[in-house]
Structure 1
């Protein structure tokens, strides 16, 4: 079975080649049109506790999302509720952006509680996975609602045994950067019963290599390329 193709923040080009802003409803719809099996998106919380979709803590003019009322944020910035509604037939990887270095860092992890609550409100636990680089943020998801799948994002130098040791029994999936994925990590993950979703893979040879290692999902900026590679395998 081929790895699932997950659109990284949606797809950022229209049919005519013109650009689409990432992490917008248009980008998500375009990803679905092109056949992506899931969409990865980023979530932050506004000053009035609305879950907004945006990668960085700031927008281009320097405004900090976490210090701004949702009504004062740009119209193109969707809410997580918008995405759960528009993408109701598509799997979503919801990444919580909440690191201690962020200006909007939430040390009480209220953002996690809010994300879990919204997923419950949409009865969406079976079509989402919540991930974060911040282990405590996903741990709070698990404490709030054990039915919601969670994944730990991993970047930088990391020992496979340490990754698995921290993850086993704590999370459903690990999300290592593609440079960290090798046969040793995959073997340990399988023995621990962990799903492996990797990011961000834009080279066709690497897509094929990761498929052969049996990763579960590949997050990519190039959905058509990944689909061409994986669906040209004739069931391999």
Structure 2
């Protein structure tokens, strides 16, 4: 029995090391909806994800919705081609192509691509709050976690959301995966008390609450900021040594980081 306990403790410790990847690297560049801007790729497309991976960025963020017939798809807005995703079947959505000819990607397709030839880039999965009900949003989160685990991509994925209850729901089924809260209305100490491992707030929140930067570091809470596109704001975040910086301008941000070394 003691040997079993020791093995479990070792395994949990090893897992925590793996999942702490969301807080290992300082000033890691996260491409917001993939690296799309420079090459005019559609946001949240397979092409934008692939480019983020090819750039060897620290992370690539994407957004997940669940269709009326329970397909998990990648899109930022609640609507796609003027159709409300949550009230539309998948087959009706994919009648309309992305601007580069891709079809609207499913989560399974996106994660499969995200695993391919990827040794550097964290997959930052944003679960969008449901516009129908809180419970639907939590169910979407559980289905996304289940899909990602089945694809054996959980070790290279972390989850973010504006819905705090979605993150708490994920924590119930996965005690170690990395979670980051987006809304900006809770202190690092508050998220720590709920076992949420990171905060990913708009940079203006940290300008308003600079004390949260130190509080997060003192409490081992991952620091991320969105969406940082201005060079001066980039420099301020870099100087404060955030774990991650989310941007639409990954190439510019990479250059600013190099200039600071």
Q: TM-score, normalised by structure 2?
A: 0.79
Please say if residues 189 and 215 of structure 2, whose CA atoms lie closer than 8 Å, have aligned partners that are also in contact: no
1:64 to 63, 84, 92: 84
CA displacement 1:149-172 (0-9 Å, x = unmatched): 1111124xx4xxx42242013201
Report how many residues are paired. Answer: 222
Q: Which moved more, 1:214-223 or 1:115-124?
A: 115-124
Go from structure 1 to structure 2 and tell me whether the alpha carbon gap of 1:120 and 1:144 turns closer, same or farther (over 3 Å shift). same
Please say if residues 63 and 126 of structure 2, whose CA atoms lie closer than 8 Å, have aligned partners that are also in contact: yes
Distance 2:253 2:225 in 1: 13
Distance 2:149 2:176 in 1: 9
1:176 to 187, 201, 221: 201
**2:48 aligned partner:** 27
Question: What SS class does the counterpart of residue 29 from structure 2 fall into?
Answer: strand
Question: What SS class does the counterpart of residue 107 from structure 1 fall into?
Answer: helix
C-alpha deviation, 1:213, in angstroms: 0.9
C-alpha deviation, 1:119, in angstroms: 1.8
Distance 1:97 1:203 in 2: 26
Please say if residues 31 and 61 of structure 2, whose CA atoms lie closer than 8 Å, have aligned partners that are also in contact: yes
Is it true that 1:166 corresponds to 2:186 in the alignment? no
Rg bigger for which structure?
A: 2
Distance 1:20 1:105 in 2: 32
2:112 to 77, 85, 107: 85
C-alpha deviation, 1:68, in angstroms: 1.5
Structure 2: state its 5+ residue gaps: 1-24, 98-102
**1:127 aligned partner:** 156
1:46 to 67, 84, 87: 67
2:140 to 96, 108, 111: 111
Please say if residues 179 and 197 of structure 2, whose CA atoms lie closer than 8 Å, have aligned partners that are also in contact: yes
CA displacement 1:28-55 (0-9 Å, x = unmatched): 1122233422101110001121111011
Please say if residues 175 and 198 of structure 1, whose CA atoms lie closer than 8 Å, have aligned partners that are also in contact: yes
Distance 1:201 1:13 in 2: 14
Question: 1 or 2, which has the higher helix percentage?
Answer: 2
Distance 1:188 1:22 in 2: 33
CA displacement 1:193-220 (0-9 Å, x = unmatched): 1001110000122112111111100000
